[in-house]
Structure 1
Amino acid sequence: MQRRTFLRRAALAAPAIALPTVLASRARAPEELIVGQGSHRYRVRADWAKVSPQQYSLINCHEMVADKSGKLYLLGDHPANNVLVFDRSGKVIDSWGYRYPAGHGLTLFDEGDEETLFICDTGSHLDRTGRWRNEPGSVTKTRLNGEVIFRLGHPKTIGVYAEGEAYHPTETAVAPNGDIYVADGYGSNYIVRYDANGRYISHFGGKNNKDPRYNLNQAHGVAIDLRKGNEPRLAVTSRNDQAFKFFTLDGKFIEQVSLPGAYVCRPVIHGENLLAGVCFADTAAGAKRQKHHGYITILDANNKVISNAGGTAATYKDGELQTMHQDPRVHGLFHHGHDVCVDADENLYLCQWDAKGAPPILLERV
């Protein structure tokens, strides 16, 4: 019996755990709500996270990663606890960080002798007095306990950015050789490349290229895509184009994959699949870029959509993907798919922005 199947049966046999009152109003999923299509179907477990708001306040759950031991690291933007560490049962086992009031991007990199984290703070946030601050962002490399290893300098200080170009990084990706790629998704839409020691190498993207294929329109995420073996690529989000763009590691354009109706966040590569949270979506009635219509989309090795967890089934006509929408059954429970984390048993964890402080939702593979 596969471990995933065993754990699933064990969970079904266990007595139900009562939700805290504060979470009960959020967890509107029917007991047997199954989402997704084909071989990628999931049971929704809105009660997975055992988070006491009195102890661990949440504003937005931006991103989550899993280490080799199975611990799950959640990055948010509450000033008291930027990072919450969960075990697989949903219990918070650690918390740290208060230096990242606009915590947004979280990347885990296995260096062989240890695993490290890269944290993007966009710089734009509400301070403790409720005042909006639009400060330059930052990228910090830490150990799994939050100990700072180094911070990348502002690109302007090394002549990469011109006067007036904003810097609000949203995501990082780390290549096998240690090169660091920073997506400036809320700033100037560049992808900035550094070596493993934080020394600048190059950059590309932005919005005003002679070749429009290089333009990025809200470069919200970036990932190293090794699915083609000896042809490593960069998968880059162009969220307002409802698309991913693929580049060589040197920044040469390869292709664009359009996802009509889905305003995707960062690409997450797992096996032969690419997964992404859908933060905003078009509706079946024709409304564009609507809030609270999120879900998770899953692409195969050829970048064809094979399942939408919390969304409608993908339809292709004459090879063209038709507009996708949120599954009405999850409306009010799935708000904004800001990130998706995959564990060792191929369960998914949905992290959400603007979801009334809701913790991540477990989508248990069936």
Structure 2
Amino acid sequence: MPSRRSFVQTGMTLATALVTAPAFAIGGKYPKRTASMEEIIGHGDYRYRVHRDWAKINPFTTFIDNCHEMVTDSKGRLIMIGDDPRNNILVFDKSGEVVDSWGTYWPGGHGLTLVDEGGEDMLYVSESGWMRSRDDGRTMIRQNGYVAKMTVDGRLVFSIGHPQGIGEYEPGMPFQPTETAVAPNGDIYVADGYGSDYILQYDQQGRFIRKFGGHENADKNYNLHNAHGIAVDTRDPAGPRLLVTSRSTKEYKYFTLDGKWIKTVDLANLQICRPVIRGQNVYAGVCWSHDFSEGGEQPWLRQTGFTMVMDRDDRVVSCPGGEQPVYENEKLQRVAQDTARTFYNGHDVCVDADENVYVCQWNAHRTPPVKLERV
């Protein structure tokens, strides 16, 4: 019996039925659409129909500034963290309805990891320490962050604070964690991506084990620059490893679970956020695809992002919202944002059981998550 996906692909007559419209008009407003208009993005076997209105949000009661990350729980709900502390956590059902919201603790709410611990869903929240000034609402204030282990209904279990308190950071070293990952044995890995760029390992009770990374290693393979994301890679059950983002150098780096460097994956011009592993692939938001040295006072505000899919062999096979990835002599070439500007700044993706992708964006005019339906 053919799969649902093959049936859909067979039934599509793209040459005559597909109309691709620009994603955004000036000012972040969507163009007027008709029922016959749709967007298909992506490449090869990873192509998606865009659903911009998936999230059903009332902007007067549910507040979004930046959508940072999203995960799925054991009930199939989608849980998102943002940095508007009136409701940091938004919980969606599969239809896009908001079924719960909570959290007024994280003005720099950034990282969200969900772990099944003995049949109970637990959330690890990374407060990055960046917050907006109350004076003008635009100036960003930097302070130290922390990691909180929470239940899915908002009860605090424990927190992990500044490593200086346990003698692992020198005075003055910033701690601004952006992401966590949890190993099969319960060990917690914290990526200090906006702080001092270390990966810090703790046991399941939050007791420190080791750190690695940073900037000044004799072996430069261990250096991390904007260690924005981390994931435990169990695609080979016999050899689990860590996949770590070095965003400013446009690289992923693989490490053993005890912090030994394995290899580095060059991603050309893609400034990727956290790795999301689903099946045999790695998915990610691409926050920027331009070179920050090109000029401009605030290059991080340029909106040149999209998303990407990387296969088991570390080859980028699709860039939904970007150009088709091309390799020359086994080296990924530069990939630009598509001309339709499907996305602003891709910050995270969440992949559901049907391989649909939900895209969270930063610096996107308070845009809610966008659903990409696999076709």
On whether the aligned pair clears a TM of 0.5, the verdict is: yes
Shift of 1:154: 1.5
Give the structure 2 partner of residue 40 of structure 1: 46
**Structure 1 residue aligned with 2:321:** 310
Q: State the partner residue of 1:27.
A: 30
Aligned match of 1:350: 359
Q: Paired residue for 1:319?
A: 330
1:71 and 2:82 aligned: no
Please list, as runs of the form range in 1=range in 2, the aligned pairs for 1:98-113 lying within 5 A after superposition: 98-113=104-119
Residue ranges of structure 1 left out of the alignment (5+ in a row):
9-23
Are 1:123 and 2:129 counterparts? yes
Q: For 1:279 and 1:302, how far apart are their aligned partners in 2?
A: 23
Instruction: Write out the 4+ residue segments of structure 1 that deviate beyond 6 Å after TM superposition.
Output: 3-8, 286-290
Task: Indicate conservation of the 8 Å contact 1:261/1:289, yes or no.
Answer: no
- Cα–Cα, structure 1 residues 6 and 25, in superposed 2: closer, same or farther, change >3 Å? farther
- 2:193 matched to 1:185? yes
Q: Cα offset for 1:290?
A: 7.3
- For 1:325 and 1:289, locate their aligned partners in 2 and report how far apart those are by CA, in whole Å: 16
- State the partner residue of 2:304: 293
Is residue 29–residue 44 contact of structure 1 (8 Å, CA) maintained in 2? no
Conservation of the 8 A alpha-carbon contact between 1:175 and 1:224: yes
- How far apart, CA to CA, are the structure 1 residues paired with 2:32 and 2:215? 41
Matches within 5 A, 1:8-27: 26-27=29-30
Identity across matched positions, percent:
49
Choose the corresponding residue for 1:172, options 176, 180, 192: 180
Q: CA deviation at 1:128?
A: 4.1
Letter in 1 for 2:73: D
Amino acid at match of 2:153: N
1:132, distance to aligned residue in structure 2 (A): 4.3
Aligned equivalents of 2:237, 2:331: Cα separation in 1? 26
Cα separation, 1, equivalents of 2:43 and 2:32: 18
Which residue number in structure 2 is paired with residue 90 of structure 1?
96
SS of residue matched to 2:319: strand
Matched with 1:194 is: 202
Change (3 A) 1:240 1:59: same
Contact residue 28 and residue 364 of structure 2 kept, 8 A = no
Aligned to 1:16: none
For residues 70 and 282 of structure 1, the distance between their equivalents in structure 2, rounded to whole angstroms, comes to 35
* Match of residue 338 from structure 1: 347
TM-score by length of 1: 0.90
Aligned partner of 2:262 among 254, 272, 288: 254
| Structure 2 CA distance for partners of 1:259 and 1:75, relative to 1, 3 Å | same
CA shift digits 1:84-133 (9 cap, x unpaired): 00001111010000011110000011113201000000112015444643
- Which residue of 58, 61, 76 corresponds with 1:52? 58
CA distance in 2, matches of 1:289, 1:128: 22
Judge which range, 239-248 or 226-235, deviates more: 226-235
- Asked if structure 1 preserves the Cα contact closer than 8 Å seen for 2:244 and 2:252, the reply is yes
Superposed, 1:149-298 pairs within 5 Å as: 149-282=157-290, 291-298=302-309
**Contact 1:26/1:358 (8 A) holds in 2:** no
How many residue pairs match? The answer is: 348
1:364 matched residue in structure 2: 373
> Are the aligned partners of 2:145 and 2:161 in contact in 1 as well (CA < 8 Å)?
no
Contact 2:43/2:324, CA 8 A, preserved across alignment: yes
Is the 8 Å Cα contact of residues 27 and 47 (structure 1) preserved in structure 2?
Answer: no
CA distance in 2, matches of 1:100, 1:187: 17
